[in-house]
Amino acid sequence: MTPEELQTLRSYRMEQARAALEDAEFLLAHNRAALSVVNRAYYAMFYAALALLQDVSPLPSKHTGIIGLFDTNFIRTGIFDKQRSKDLHRAFDLRQASDYKTITPITNEQAHEITESARIFVEYLAHFLSL
């Protein structure tokens, strides 16, 4: 992949991240289902992580693989602080729980917290990538 293609792909992934974050904020502002807010907030973080990892080949096909790669390449190396990893893991866990594992509903407070974490995460990675 050429540097230009890599930059285009990174930009596209960050656009996806920003769109998902806007969706989460819209849903939150309009008192929509907290599980939908969490879903969009998580995907905002996931797409931002994908933008960061586009030069890794091959990229893992599972979300846990992407999160693990993020931790290995950017948290364990000290490039990013551990809070970014904690936020990403929490968003993933809440999304998994709300979509697949539990009948306990996600609270509005959790939806607010995850959306704020997603906003910080996306901004942090966008700044790092200069996007």
All structural domains of the chain: 3-129 (1.20.120.330)
Q: What is the pLDDT along the chain (131 residues), one digit of tens a residue?
A: 899 999 999 999 999 999 999 999 999 999 999 999 999 999 999 999 999 999 887 889 999 999 999 999 999 999 999 999 999 999 999 999 888 876 778 899 999 999 999 999 999 999 999 98
Q: Distance between CA 65 and CA 20 in Å, rounded?
A: 21
* φ and ψ of 45, to 5 deg: -70, -40
- Asked if residue 50 lies in contact with residue 66, where contact means CB atoms within 8 angstroms, the answer is yes
The tally of CA atoms less than 13 A away on the side-chain side of residue 56 is 17
- Asked if residue 95 lies in contact with residue 39, where contact means CB atoms within 8 angstroms, the answer is yes
Q: Distance between CA 79 and CA 128 in Å, rounded?
A: 10
